[in-house]
Amino acid sequence: TESRFTLEDRLPAGYFTESLRADVLAGLGSSPRTLPPKWFYDKRGSDLFEQITRLPEYYPTRAEQEILERRAPEIAELTGAATLVELGSGSSRKTRLLLDALTAAGTLRRYAPLDVSSTALAEAGDAICRDYPQLEVTATVADFEQDLALSDEPGPRLLAFLGSTIGNLDRAQRLAFYRTLSLALSSDDVLLLGADLVKDPDVLVRAYDDTAGVTAEFDKNVLHVLNRELGADFDPAGFDHVALWNTEEERIEMRLRSRTAQTVKIPELDLSLDFAQAEDLRTELSCKFRRETLTEELHDGGFTVRQWWTDAAGRFALLLAVP
């Protein structure tokens, strides 16, 4: 399978140390304190996220899967894609539904997953190569916010951005992302976007604060990452996982709340951070969407929505948009 599988690392030299440092300096030095969610996903964090997707409370993965199961053949027919580009591909489980449909339609030549995790890409890429013997797999290690890494793929391209990862970005970041993407795509390329929808806040909060405590472990994993990568001395047991629904912004905010007044040292950044009792460190935004406003913001970012599908329960949306 080697000849059909390439893995290119396009992260700038020192990405993990340099951008982690910059993010920690900017985010922990500001008030309220924040960290970008991408630092959750080391090996342990990626495994915990996989566990989250199987939790009874965490419906988004299953809801999106349900839509893909039903609509993949239509998506294949509507796009006629020769390349499936997937941003933030992770374990690529849902991808197979698209690969199967595009293979059956006879148009697909290449799968181009992009992720910051080279281990996830190597594992998933290898398995997909084995199971799709006609397919070229060109995996790219990159941070899609910095580098979309689109180049010479055969068109038309179907660019899949699934799982409602778009919800991790705030409105300004989303607009910047849509604009960059719409300019990078050709007129026959299509964006396939998965977006979690606004619903009963109790259902949302439970999805981000499960009874088994997996999401709490996932949230605290970022502290383990800072301890390992920057020599910080966070005590993960000194923080409580909090998932709260921000009614105004219509988003879930995950936070780590300091159980006591405490000081955390990050020697490699020359930082000493005082946390007050009950002070929050915001670790993730998970914005939830409505059809009308999502259609509008995509339009502002250079996209026209062509199709909009939801699961039977109306919890999650999958849409096709063209530049």
Size of residue set near ligand AVJ by CB under 6 A = 12
Binding ligand AVJ (rule: CB under 6 A), the pick from 138, 182, 215, 310 is: 215
CB-nearer residue toward ligand AVJ: 4 or 255: 255
Angle at 303 between CA 312 and CA 168, to 5 degrees: 65
193, 86 contact by CB (below 8 A)? no
3-state secondary structure 28-44: HCCCCEECCHHHHCCHH
Q: Does 60 bind ligand AVJ (CB under 6 A)?
A: yes
Binding ligand AVJ (rule: CB under 6 A), the pick from 92, 138, 140, 165 is: 165
CA–CA gap between residue 280 and residue 139 (Å, rounded): 37
Pairing of strands 280-287, 304-310: unpaired
CA–CA gap between residue 49 and residue 313 (Å, rounded): 23
Q: Does 167 bind ligand AVJ (CB under 6 A)?
A: yes
CA–CA gap between residue 136 and residue 128 (Å, rounded): 10
Binding ligand AVJ (rule: CB under 6 A), the pick from 45, 113, 163, 301 is: 163
Q: Does 45 bind ligand AVJ (CB under 6 A)?
A: no
Q: Does 61 bind ligand AVJ (CB under 6 A)?
A: no
x/- site string to ligand AVJ, residues 170 to 209, per CB under 6 A? --------------------------------------x-
CB of 266 to ligand AVJ, least distance (A): 24
Strand runs labelled E in 35-93: 83-87
Binding ligand AVJ (rule: CB under 6 A), the pick from 28, 48, 52, 320 is: 52
CB-nearer residue toward ligand AVJ: 138 or 286: 286
In a 13 Å sphere around the CA of 303, the CA atoms on its Cβ side amount to 30
Point out which residues bind ligand AVJ (CB under 6 A): 52, 60, 163-165, 167-168, 208, 215, 218, 284, 286
